[in-house]
Structure 1
């Protein structure tokens, strides 16, 4: 079963990324805002990849492969 906490972590990371993007762009640091967005996306993808790995392990144990 998926933990609801991971959904809140992903949503929180998205909100933080959005706020950082707006603050940095308002300060004239568009390049740093872009890098911050890329780092945030990579962190979220790592979280999702670990969930997919857990899913495959669950399927593997379910079918005893």
Structure 2
């Protein structure tokens, strides 16, 4: 079952990434803003990949004889 805390973690990382991006862009450091966005995306993808692997394991065990 999907844990609600994981959804809050994903939302928190997204909100934090947006805030840091806005702060860096307003101070004129666009290069660091892009790196921050990429780091946020990588972190979120790692969280989602773990969920997808759990899904595949559940499907695999469901169809095994």
Superposition TM-score, scaled by structure 1 size:
0.94
Q: Which has the higher contact order (CA 8 A, sep 6+)?
A: 2
CA shift, 1:5, in A, is 1.0
* Aligned residues between the structures: 65
1:38 maps to 38
| Aligned-partner Cα distance in 1 for 2:60–2:37 | 35
| Aligned-partner Cα distance in 2 for 1:6–1:64 | 28
- Gapped runs of 5+ residues in structure 2? none
1:10 maps to 10
Spell out structure 1 runs of 4+ moving beyond 4 A: none
| Aligned-partner Cα distance in 1 for 2:52–2:5 | 16
- Gapped runs of 5+ residues in structure 1? none
CA shift, 1:59, in A, is 0.9
| Aligned-partner Cα distance in 2 for 1:45–1:35 | 15
Superposition TM-score, scaled by structure 2 size:
0.94
